[in-house]
């Protein structure tokens, strides 16, 4: 009888243990299937970075090194224009880093898709060229540019100036300005770009300040009308690309032209008779910038990425592999295999750079229509 009781008690104890084990197992399974997936999602977000960059701006070696150092996986999308980036952000698209061109950043500000940058999180900001820091287009106060917090940091930059065939144009190159493109002694031996770049250089040759281009569109067009016609009558061709200009110069169809610095460096290396110079009043300039979207899922990772890209050795990789110049001090000295004299600008030249104006879309369209009318009517 005692044996039967002991067996029954044992069964009861076993049932209790089994029940406890089952309950415990259910708790563990619930943890794995509910709590851990949530933790995993957050971890996945923090370990990925969605970036929109211009092709060539992120060398594979740099991307690999960033992922190795931080453990953050880069999801890279190459973009072709600023409209693509802006459309993405307006539509609620996911990006942690975008790279708008400086002349377009106003559209991003006005669309309220960018967030101000906490420069304490970007220690390498101090390495950005002083003359490129805190430009008026980098600041936004919620209503206008030029004041308020910093929203963008310049990274890849370029200049536009004059390319001279010194075997054909034998006068002194000292103190040359944009006026050389209007020199009637060179009629038919001059080329320049189509549309807005040439309109801006015409404005600069008339000493029209940048502010007037933005605030007084009609007045600006009235002032430059005769000058644009003079340019039209002097040039052999308005070119759509740098490649067209290069061909005209190589064939010696033209001797002097507006050109972007990449084409200028290419020609100088092709033949030493070609000299790329910035006008005495200052060359034109652009920069593509780093911006963190307002809805970025991983802003912490975005700050890490910007700081990483501003290291001189990383910026040097970009110049070495693509030929683009960066806004990072000390980077050029680390680059191998290039003629550094073709890249270096003096502080005076840097300070004189004239940035492409940040135009509202409506005003841009008006200027485009004006340029088309002036350059096609004979």
Same domain, 113 and 249: no
**324 pLDDT higher than 60:** yes
Averaged over 254-275, what is the pLDDT?
Answer: 94
Q: At 277, which CATH number?
A: 3.40.190.10
98 domain-assigned: yes
Q: Are residues 65 and 140 in the same domain?
A: yes
Q: Check whether 42 has a pLDDT greater than 80.
A: no
User: Lowest-confidence range among 220-234, 290-304, 319-333?
Assistant: 319-333
Residue 20 confidence (pLDDT): 57
Which of 12 and 68 is assigned the larger pLDDT? 68
Write down the pLDDT at residue 36. Answer: 39
Give me the percent of the chain exceeding a pLDDT of 70. 87
Residues 279 and 292 in one domain: no
Residue 26 has pLDDT above 50, yes or no: no
Task: Looking at the structure, tell me whether residues 235 and 336 fall in a common domain.
Answer: no
Percent of the chain surpassing pLDDT 90 = 68
State whether 115 and 146 are in the same domain: yes
Q: What does pLDDT average to over the chain?
A: 88
121 and 261 part of one domain:
no
Question: Tens digit of pLDDT for each residue in 182-194?
Answer: 999 999 999 999 8
In a domain, residue 3? The reply is: no
Together in a domain, 138 and 243: no
- Report, as an integer, the average pLDDT of 227-246: 94
Residue-level pLDDT at 131: 87
pTM for the complete prediction? 0.79
The confidence score (pLDDT) of residue 24 equals 52
Whether the pLDDT of residue 35 is over 60: the answer is no
Using a 10 angstrom Cβ sphere, with 0-12 exposed, 13-18 middle and 19 or more buried, the burial of residue 237 is: middle
Report the pLDDT value the prediction gives residue 341, as an integer from 0 to 100.
Answer: 87
184 and 168 in a common domain:
yes
Is 312's pLDDT higher than 90? yes
Same domain assignment for residues 73 and 218: no
Q: For residue 260, give its domain range.
A: 158-283+359-376
The rounded distance, in Å, linking the Cα atoms of 251 and 242 is: 14
Instruction: Examine the domain organization and report whether 171 and 135 are in the same domain.
Output: no
- Range 125-152 average pLDDT: 93
- How many other CB atoms are found less than 10 A from the CB of residue 232? 17
- Do 242 and 365 sit in the same domain of this protein? yes
Q: Is the pLDDT of residue 313 over 80?
A: yes
Determine, yes or no, domain membership for 38: no
Distance CA 76, CA 68 (A): 16
Count how many domains the chain has.
2
Residue 333 located in a structural domain: yes
For residue 242, what pLDDT is reported? Answer: 85
Q: Give pLDDT, residue 9.
A: 56
Q: What is the pLDDT of residues 72-101, one digit of tens each?
A: 999 999 998 899 999 989 988 889 999 999
HEC string of the chain equals: CHHHHHHHHHHHHHHHHHHHHHHHHHHHHHHHHHHHHHHHHHHHHHCEEEEEEECCCCCHHHHHHHHHHHCCEEEEEEECCHHHHHHHHHCCCCCCEECCEHHHHHHHHHCCCECCCCHHHCHHHHHECHHHCCCHHHEECCCCECCCEECCEEEEEEEEEEEEECCCCCCCCCCCCHHHHHCHHHCCCEEEECCHHHHHHHHHHCCCCHHHHHHCHHHHHHHHHHHHHHHHHHEEEEECCHHHHHHHHHCCCCCEEEEEHHHHHHHHHHCCCEEEECCCCCCEEEEEEEECECCCCCHHHHHHHHHHHCCHHHHHHHHHHHCCEECECCCHHHCCCCCHHHCCCCHHHHHHCEECCCCCHHHHHHHHHHHHHHHHCC
Bridge pairing between strands 190-193 and 235-239: parallel
pLDDT at 210: 85
Q: pLDDT at position 2, please?
A: 52
Is residue 144 in a domain? yes
Q: Is residue 31 in some structural domain?
A: no
46 backbone dihedrals φ, ψ, rounded to 5° = -75, -20
* One domain, residues 196 and 62: no
Which pLDDT value is given to residue 92? 81
pLDDT attached to residue 342: 87
The pLDDT score that the predictor gives to residue 41 is 40
């Amino acid at each position: 009888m005692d044996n039967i009781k002991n067996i029954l008690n044992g069964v009861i104890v076993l049932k209790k243990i089994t029940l406890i084990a089952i309950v415990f197992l259910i708790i563990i399974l619930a943890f794995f299937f509910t709590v851990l997936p949530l933790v995993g999602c957050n971890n996945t977000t923090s370990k990925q970075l969605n970036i929109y960059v211009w092709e060539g701006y992120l060398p594979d070696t740099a991307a690999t090194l960033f992922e190795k150092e931080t453990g953050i996986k880069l999801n890279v999308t190459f973009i072709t224009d600023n409209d693509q980036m802006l459309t993405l952000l307006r539509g609620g698209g996911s990006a942690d880093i975008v790279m708008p061109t400086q002349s377009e950043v106003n559209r991003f500000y006005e669309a309220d898709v960018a967030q101000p940058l906490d420069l304490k999180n970007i220690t390498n900001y101090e390495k950005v060229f002083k003359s490129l820091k805190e430009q008026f287009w980098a600041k936004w106060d919620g209503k206008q540019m030029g004041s308020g917090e910093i929203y963008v940091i310049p990274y890849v930059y370029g200049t536009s100036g004059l390319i001279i065939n010194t075997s054909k144009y034998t006068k002194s190159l000292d103190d040359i300005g944009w006026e050389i493109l209007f020199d009637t002694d060179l009629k038919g031996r001059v080329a320049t770009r189509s549309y807005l770049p040439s309109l801006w250089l015409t404005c600069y040759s008339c000493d029209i300040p940048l502010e007037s281009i933005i605030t007084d569109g009609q007045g600006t067009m009235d002032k430059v009308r005769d000058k644009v016609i003079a340019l039209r009558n002097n040039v052999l061709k308005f070119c759509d690309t740098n490649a067209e200009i290069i061909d005209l110069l190589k064939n010696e169809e033209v001797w002097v032209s507006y050109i972007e610095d990449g084409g200028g460096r290419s020609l100088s290396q092709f033949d030493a008779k070609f000299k790329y110079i910035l006008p005495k009043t200052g060359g034109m300039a652009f920069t593509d910038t780093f911006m963190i979207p307002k809805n970025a899922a991983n802003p912490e990772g975005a700050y890490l990425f910007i700081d990483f890209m501003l290291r001189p050795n990383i910026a040097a990789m970009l110049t070495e592999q693509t030929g683009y110049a960066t806004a990072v001090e000390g980077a050029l000295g680390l680059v191998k295999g290039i003629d550094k004299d073709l890249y270096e600008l003096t502080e005076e030249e840097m300070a004189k750079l004239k940035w492409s104006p940040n135009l509202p879309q409506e005003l841009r369209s008006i200027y485009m229509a004006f340029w088309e009318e002036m350059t096609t009517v004979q």
